[in-house]
Amino acid sequence: MTLYMFMFMFILVVFSSNMPGVCSVRLLGSLNHNTHNIFNVLKYGAKADGQTDDSTAFLAAWNAACSSTGSPVVYVPKMTFLINPAIFQGPCHSNKITMQVAGKLIASTDNSLWSEKSINYWLHFMNVIGLTIEGSGILDGRGASWWTEVNGKKTNQIGPTTLRFTGTMNTIVRKITSVNSKQFHINFDTCNYVEVEGVTINAPGDSPNTDGIHLGQSSNVQIRNIIVGTGDDCISIGPGSFNVNIEGVICGPGHGISIGSLGEDNALAAVKNITVSGVSFHDTQNGVRIKTWQGGNGFATDITFQNVKMDNVQNPVIIDQYYSPYGSPTKGDSNVKISNVLYQNITGTSASNAAIAFECSQSVPCEGIKVDHINLSCNDGKTNAQFLCRNAHVTAVDAGAVSPTPCL
């Protein structure tokens, strides 16, 4: 009986392998789904030797994934890939596409690749909806030669951003590490619905123009639980930024978190509904800063800085409406109106006696500036910290809970 049963099952298996049985169809469907939705860059010709330009292979994998349906994944294995400037273009067929980075991407040290001013990127994602870039991988801009050769010449050349996004929607950047960018590390321009979480950004404190994350003309942005040490702003929020929430950031070294600069070249600037919370600054040039150019127009309003810790920060709290990176400011007042700004629960030490300095425009003074539960002292333990104001209308929620004494 057992022998006959065995022979019957054997014949059934052989017979079913030649016919589209239900079980075999389900199995093949599962395999096809996995295979068709993972696009490993190695299968598209990437050499992964750290010397051969693998840009073409990456773009081929991207284009294949972008043309796919479902939830395609461009997979970068744990190896080293040399990538020259590349544009990953959308829109894609799927509104859920992922680049999973386990390996290390390195930029070329040949600065002539960026000799054209229009090439202001290393890895550029354009017009993609539902993009996620995540993984334990590293993006190494290898910026040292750029900082010395290009920035040292003081040219007007715009440097490449490591990870640039233009015109994207529903974008997530999660857990990756960016090091030694030639200029900005991550830049969002004309993007809507952005989430950055668990990212690490690192460059030397003297590396020029290496902002960690820059926002411009972008809305509905969430930045959470990131670590940034760099040579410029840890996070900079440019004109056209609305509904931005930043929380859980460790910043240092760097120039702090800045709103602006706004109104450059007499431009119209608008920034609204910005919240910065749960941030710590260590050995930075600034803490929380709003900066505008003289002659500009527009507004920056509905801004909250709360639950902030300062450790040896040169300018912990600052509004500068006479901003100029070129030394002495130009003539005239800023017409960028700053209003409805709350500073709440800010503590720690200042490296200068000007712990709080509000330098506002004479033509459009700062209005609606509120301070609540602030305790800042000079780190030497001897110098009295100061609260300085010019053309600023400041009120204290509880004057007794604000130190240094506010200029009301």
Residues labelled as active-site residues: 232, 255
DSSP assignment string, 206-257: T-TT--SEEEES-EEEEEEEEEEE-SS-SEEE-TTEEEEEEEEEEE-SSS-E
SS3 category, 155:
coil
- Written as six digits, the tokens of 74 are 């461009």
Distance CA 145, CA 130 (A): 35
Q: Rounded to 5 degrees, what are φ and ψ at 46? A: -65, 135
Cis amide bond preceding 77, omega within 30: no
Distance CA 360, CA 334 (A): 8
Helix, strand, coil shares of the chain, percent, nearest 5, are 15, 50, 35
- Using CA atoms, how far residue 284 sits from 207, 209, 256, 311, in Å, is 14, 15, 6, 8
Calculate helix-pair angle for 2-17, 22-37, nearest 10 degrees: 50
- Which of 394, 317, 311 minimizes the C-alpha distance to 354? 317
Distance CA 125, CA 188 (A): 10
Distance CA 107, CA 401 (A): 50
Query: Residues near 313 by Cβ (< 8 Å), separated by ≥ 6?
Result: 256, 281, 282, 283, 284, 285, 286, 287, 348, 349, 350, 351
SS3 category, 8:
helix
- Using CA atoms, how far residue 311 sits from 354, 378, 380, in Å, is 14, 10, 12
- Written as six digits, the tokens of 9 are 């099952």
Q: How many CB atoms lie within 10 A of CB 132?
A: 18
Q: Find out whether 200 and 178 touch, Cβ atoms under 8 Å.
A: yes
Cα torsion 145, 147, 153, 155 to 10°: value is 120
Distance CA 356, CA 403 (A): 10
